[in-house]
Structure 1
Amino acid sequence: MLLLQTQNVLRRFGADVLFHKINLQVNEHDRIALVGRNGAGKTTLLKMIAGITTPDEGTISTSKNLSIGYLAQDQGLDSQHSIWAELDSVFADLHTLETQIHTFEHQLAQLTPGTPDYDLISKQYDRAQHDFQARGGFEINSKLRGMLTGFGFGPEMDDQPITALSGGQKTKLALSKILLQQPDLLILDEPTNHLDMDVLSWLEDYLKGYPGALLVVSHDRYFLDRIVTKVYDLDQGTLRHYTGNYSQFVNHKAQWLASEMKHYDQQQKEIAKLEDFVNRNLVRASTTKRAQARRKQLDKMEKMDRPMTDDQSIHFSFHSEYPSGNEVLTVTDLKIGYDEMTVAGPFSFEERQGQRLGIIGPNGIGKSTLLKTILGQLPPITGTIKLGANLQIGYYDQEQQQLHPDKTVLDEVWDEHPEIDETEIRTLLGSFLFTGEDVFKLVKDLSGGQKARLELTKLSFNPMNYLILDEPTNHLDIDSREVLETAINEFDGTVLFVSHDRYFINQVATHILAVNPDHATVYPGNYDDYLAATAPTASDTPTTNSQKAPSNQQQAYQQSKEVQRARRKIQRQVDDIEQQMEGLETKVNEIQAEMNRPELAADIGKLTDLQKDLDATQAQLEEVELAWASAAEELETFDQEN
């Protein structure tokens, strides 16, 4: 059933056209993502579809009595009510009906059964009771409790006034309220802001079972992959439709662009060929008619425009001058906090050269505080932090406090590198999409995304072998996030980062540090590996015969993930053994260097001890080399068989 349709919708922005020929359909139960670069007009289009604004041209038609719910980005509840009372107001009509039912019950108690008045009230009572039950009146409390629990509000917060809540909490309540209202078409603009991973997972599961249709704008690619089945791409001022989730859309769009470019190139060759024939033969009497025919063919040809896309991305890389030692970070019994007040801990973990350790945990648990403590910006409450040798640290601050508000973009970078000429600085800024007059903007006038790009500009300019990032994907559009992922994966140093972007974590992490109030645990692999490691086992989860068997597609997907997981396990084994080999080889070299010291030439006892240590280390190295050969062979066999 068709719920909503836009036809040739156009929006002007001053003298310019923001978008045109927008044709979009929303059917019952659709799960649609609207994607496009920042500034493409996604929010503007959502507001039109929601009926908040009207198009400059074109029409938007809806089915009869369609209910639409729209939640703007970071829109919070502004209410004097308590948390429970505000959400309970969604069911005001049911509470009115419940009051009416109680009135009927009181009236029936005063009347004699069998009388006309009794029969009339009894029928009204039965209808009201049936209506109340059919509309879920008996489940109101359970619905409210389930929604509040899902969004992280415990029973102790029921009576808390909304005015006392943080902006993020108000946004979560606004989302809770619109979900309880259950409109036929739910329109959400960046709904995952302020949500931690557990709440996100719960929301995704809830939206999968949502009875209405969903139209969503989000930078959260993991969320889009789990939820949507259709994608509308707002690019170059027009809208193109794709089937599948976000990852499938990326592949389909790349294929479409490649195909369009191929057809464009073929047509350009054909045009050049025809023009050359006309130019060579038009003046020759014997071939004039043929040349005129070719000219008519050219004139009638529907010329293709060169395929263009808004997907203009930053491009950069991180680089190091020299490698760090193998042991990069060792944290022992660390408690973190402010003003001698503990926020979390004790934590004990380590990070070795080449690892990319992603820190995850609930909002407010102290992830950013942990990074600042490691960097020495905050003192530890208790415990120790040991940084390795030869470290060059680069730090990305999500609060962007390393930027200077009153400097221009150009001076923000140039002042730190006055020895470099302006042309080179502006070339670097251009690779981060700061071009023309943009470089003379004041930092305080930049958007959040522009400030994020400027901080990455400064970071990429300096050599480093240990990269520490605090929420680096905040404010970045999807294209910029993907470029950042590539830069991190190509970086030959070590990375420690905090992020709530699960797709980003999956792409770059080699290990996960899951932070809890009183401990932290390291898991090998990326975010999906962490979920697999912490998921309840089959014996923990009761099953029933009513559970549906998975589809062939689901089984194939699961098998594919299991194959990938198995390969990563073997690859990690190979990597771990290689690290052991490097450590043992270093130890052998150190012992041999010690034995060659001139002052030990006459110290037979010391040399004997060193020789024993050398023999033992070399024997251990031989065993590890055999283990590596076996693991490498296992990996090669696995790749051949799969």
Structure 2
Amino acid sequence: MAHLLGGESLHIQFPTRTVFEGVTVGLDEGDRIGIVGRNGDGKSTLMALLAQRLAPDSGRVTVRSGVRIGYLDQSDVLDEDHTVGEAVVGDTPEHEWASVARIRDVVSGLLGDLDWNAPVPSLSGGQRRRVALAKLLAGDWDVLMLDEPTNHLDVEGITWLARHLAQRWPKNSGGLLTVTHDRWFLDEICTDTWEVHDGVVDSFEGGYAAYVLQRVERDRQAAAAEAKRQNLMRKELAWLRRGAPARTSKPKFRIDAANELIADVPPVRDRVELSRMAVSRLGKDVVDIEGASVSYPLPGGGERKVLRDVTWRIAPGERTGILGINGAGKSTLLGLVTGAVAPDSGRVKRGTTIRVATLTQQLDELRDVQDERVSDVIGRKRTTYVTGGKEMTPGQLLERMGFTNAQLATPVRDLSGGQKRRLQLLLILLDEPNVLILDEPSNDLDTDMLAAMEDLLDTWPGTLLVVTHDRYLMERVTDQQYAVMDGGLRHLPGGIDEYLRRQETADAARSSQPSSSPLGASGPAATASGPSGAEIREAQKEIKAIDRKLAKLASTREELHEQMAAHDQSDYAGLAEFGKKTRAVQDEIDELELRWLELSEVAG
């Protein structure tokens, strides 16, 4: 294989720590490499070094002459003076760029629901991210480097991206480096996996499933003192080898080793025992939704029906994943479960013993304890917690979720995003709810921490409802999936693959309808009866108002980021205050984006 680029004896250190010391790696034609590791260990730094965006303190990076590198980082790089079309293809005439199959595929795959002439400042954060990704993929590159490319993409978008990257170059040509925590995505596209840890980079053949097997074998042979971590990965391996969906490729090493390693590992969940415990805690009745419909008033009068005649009887110990496009009504459905939403018709019956808790994206549980130490926050909860038949202290639970002893004395405000997510989950579990709703629980977590969270949930004896764009997580922690589509709730016996087929069929049926997209792709479907002209005009009017608000909030967020970057980095209290303000702005943006998505279904 021809060499594309590489790094030799790379050494780089920041003021507080050494990131890499003598790392040598290379990318050849045909390589599709996923980069994994704990948050903060240097995944993005490694990719920036290889892209020559960051200079090493010593060592060198070499790039073959003429190799074109396309790079997607996590910052926003769009020109505020551009429209969507100008951001993606510049001033290239439509008859020219539309004749390129690659660009047509990118535009229809990522931007089908956007107005081609919409100004960039009017876009939400998720839409800007998609436009930035489309801009990159529209180019002709020998090497693509993608930092968290699945952020802000739904299940359909992630599936499209994996298919696009698999078909983008002929076999044994082109090169791909990607940093992502999406394990399904890693398995779909990667020929090799690099694990970044402790200042080194270990290379493994294959995608995530293959990486897990080889890592377990490596740890076993080395007799490392990481017994807890090794046992966790063995359990993950058992899941992968015993029927994880979409694991059809055969890695190029002995499968016998895998079978030997997991011979004495039980199934990841004892469903019979969990069901028995769930019934004992919940009784036979959890939540019964019967013929429920929910409508929301439109600004100019009239209403939009989000759910129609939904019936769903939730059983004790049920583990269900909820799928649906943004704005389809997933949050409304879960609102019926929690009691936050009342149906217009039909009824919702809740068991007398149920205690519902929701792991939100906004870290609500931590807002009042920002200045307290982690150990003090946990200490006010239960002194013991039973999981998997074993009694554990809160401190042991924290250790199981990746916290060190030193971090127990850390104020909550100084924790990383991933650490806050883990603490949030533990606080909820210590309150012992018997119905748990997870809303995008994988945000800010690396692959190791996702595995640790899944391990903890395996022994949790309650009803679990999950909304996530992380396909691997959903398939791992739930036993069945439903989809909110066209106002109804549909069971998916074929899982996520069936959902994607249904969505493709629905998209094909809508593709003949008029659209503002240059390729005729349409946005989310309208309601079954179709909105009236007045409803559409009012929705468009409110969308424009939201666009203006989002533009102002995006500007405010950018100013806060700049002020934070210019601020004294040793002033932790000041930095924490900036972080608090930034989160408040982001929360408002998230709420407006959700409303925008709901309105876009009406406006078309």
Shorter-chain TM-score above 0.5:
yes
CA contact (8 A) 1:404 1:412 kept: no
State the Cα deviation string for residues 364-400 of structure 1 (Å, max 9, x = none): 3232333233212333444422223432333322222
- 1:366 corresponds to which letter in structure 2? G
CA distance in 2, matches of 1:402, 1:339: 30
State the Cα deviation string for residues 71-97 of structure 1 (Å, max 9, x = none): 1125352331111122221x75xx6xx
| 1:53 counterpart SS class | coil
**Structure 1 pair 200–512 and aligned structure 2 pair: CA distance change class (3 A):** same
| 1:157 counterpart SS class | coil
- 1:469 corresponds to which letter in structure 2? L
| 2:339 counterpart SS class | coil
Find the partner of 2:115 among 157, 160, 164. 157
CA distance in 2, matches of 1:427, 1:461: 12
Partner of 1:292: none
**Structure 1 pair 389–529 and aligned structure 2 pair: CA distance change class (3 A):** farther
Partner of 1:85: 86
State the Cα deviation string for residues 525-545 of structure 1 (Å, max 9, x = none): 643565689888xxx9xxxxx
- 1:213 corresponds to which letter in structure 2? G
Partner of 2:436: 467
More deviation, 31-40/395-404: 395-404
| In the alignment, structure 1 residue 72 sits paired with structure 2 residue 78 | no
**Structure 1 pair 86–397 and aligned structure 2 pair: CA distance change class (3 A):** closer
| In the alignment, structure 1 residue 502 sits paired with structure 2 residue 503 | no
| In the alignment, structure 1 residue 7 sits paired with structure 2 residue 8 | yes
Higher share of residues assigned helix? 1
| 2:491 counterpart SS class | strand
| In the alignment, structure 1 residue 412 sits paired with structure 2 residue 374 | no
Partner of 1:624: none
More deviation, 12-21/229-238: 12-21
**Structure 1 pair 418–258 and aligned structure 2 pair: CA distance change class (3 A):** closer
| In the alignment, structure 1 residue 366 sits paired with structure 2 residue 335 | no
More deviation, 164-173/437-446: 437-446
| 2:443 counterpart SS class | coil
| 2:349 counterpart SS class | strand
CA distance in 2, matches of 1:159, 1:15: 46
CA distance in 2, matches of 1:520, 1:145: 33
State the Cα deviation string for residues 429-453 of structure 1 (Å, max 9, x = none): 4443444453344433332211111
CA distance in 1, matches of 2:157, 2:295: 25
**Structure 1 pair 426–373 and aligned structure 2 pair: CA distance change class (3 A):** same
CA distance in 2, matches of 1:146, 1:489: 40
CA contact (8 A) 2:357 2:435 kept: yes
How far the C-alpha of 1:242 sits from its partner, in A, is 1.2
CA distance in 2, matches of 1:480, 1:419: 22
How far the C-alpha of 1:338 sits from its partner, in A, is 5.7
Find the partner of 1:385 among 348, 356, 379. 348
CA contact (8 A) 1:509 1:525 kept: no
- 1:179 corresponds to which letter in structure 2? L
Partner of 2:554: none
CA contact (8 A) 1:349 1:521 kept: no
State the Cα deviation string for residues 532-576 of structure 1 (Å, max 9, x = none): 89888xxx9xxxxxxxxxxxxxxxxxxxxxxxxxxxxxxxxxxxx
| In the alignment, structure 1 residue 447 sits paired with structure 2 residue 421 | no
Find the partner of 1:173 among 106, 131, 135. 131
CA distance in 2, matches of 1:443, 1:336: 38
Q: Any residues of structure 2 matched to 1:304-383 within 5 Å, and which? A: 322-336=280-294, 342=304, 344-346=306-308, 347-383=310-346
| 2:469 counterpart SS class | coil
| In the alignment, structure 1 residue 490 sits paired with structure 2 residue 459 | yes
Q: Any residues of structure 2 matched to 1:36-435 within 5 Å, and which? A: 36-73=37-74, 75=76, 77-89=78-90, 92=92, 137=96, 139-140=98-99, 144-154=103-113, 157-211=115-169, 212-261=174-223, 322-336=280-294, 342=304, 344-346=306-308, 347-405=310-368, 406-408=370-372, 409-416=374-381, 425-435=394-404
- 1:20 corresponds to which letter in structure 2? E
CA distance in 1, matches of 2:97, 2:429: 59
CA distance in 2, matches of 1:168, 1:530: 22
How far the C-alpha of 1:64 sits from its partner, in A, is 0.4
How far the C-alpha of 1:145 sits from its partner, in A, is 4.3
More deviation, 511-520/373-382: 373-382
Higher-Rg structure is 1
| 1:226 counterpart SS class | helix
How far the C-alpha of 1:492 sits from its partner, in A, is 2.9
State the Cα deviation string for residues 468-503 of structure 1 (Å, max 9, x = none): 222222222111211222233333322112111111
CA contact (8 A) 1:76 1:170 kept: no
| 2:209 counterpart SS class | helix
CA distance in 2, matches of 1:148, 1:531: 19
**Structure 1 pair 504–428 and aligned structure 2 pair: CA distance change class (3 A):** closer
State the Cα deviation string for residues 318-366 of structure 1 (Å, max 9, x = none): 9879332334222233344666864621232222222211101112323
CA distance in 1, matches of 2:57, 2:23: 12
Partner of 2:425: 456
CA contact (8 A) 2:435 2:462 kept: yes
- 1:189 corresponds to which letter in structure 2? D
CA contact (8 A) 2:401 2:449 kept: no
| 1:323 counterpart SS class | helix
- 2:207 corresponds to which letter in structure 1? N
- 2:164 corresponds to which letter in structure 1? Y
CA contact (8 A) 2:286 2:350 kept: yes
| 1:182 counterpart SS class | coil
**Structure 1 pair 167–444 and aligned structure 2 pair: CA distance change class (3 A):** same
| 1:481 counterpart SS class | helix
CA contact (8 A) 1:186 1:213 kept: yes
CA contact (8 A) 2:305 2:487 kept: no
Structure 1: 5+ residue stretches without partners: 99-135, 265-316, 541-642
| 1:209 counterpart SS class | helix
CA distance in 1, matches of 2:79, 2:184: 30
| 2:45 counterpart SS class | helix
How far the C-alpha of 1:219 sits from its partner, in A, is 0.3
**Structure 1 pair 416–78 and aligned structure 2 pair: CA distance change class (3 A):** farther
Equivalenced residue count is 440
How far the C-alpha of 1:237 sits from its partner, in A, is 1.2
CA distance in 2, matches of 1:465, 1:29: 49
**Structure 1 pair 4–336 and aligned structure 2 pair: CA distance change class (3 A):** farther
How far the C-alpha of 1:262 sits from its partner, in A, is 8.6
CA distance in 2, matches of 1:414, 1:429: 11
CA distance in 1, matches of 2:365, 2:305: 24
How far the C-alpha of 1:19 sits from its partner, in A, is 1.5
How far the C-alpha of 1:202 sits from its partner, in A, is 1.1
CA contact (8 A) 1:331 1:349 kept: yes
How far the C-alpha of 1:3 sits from its partner, in A, is 0.6
CA contact (8 A) 2:278 2:316 kept: no
**Structure 1 pair 483–429 and aligned structure 2 pair: CA distance change class (3 A):** closer
Find the partner of 1:479 among 436, 448, 456. 448
Structure 2: 5+ residue stretches without partners: 227-269, 386-391, 510-604
Q: TM-score, normalised by structure 2?
A: 0.66
CA distance in 2, matches of 1:263, 1:411: 29
Q: TM-score, normalised by structure 1?
A: 0.63
CA distance in 1, matches of 2:142, 2:341: 50
| 1:204 counterpart SS class | helix
Structure with higher RCO (Cα < 8 A, 6+ apart): 2
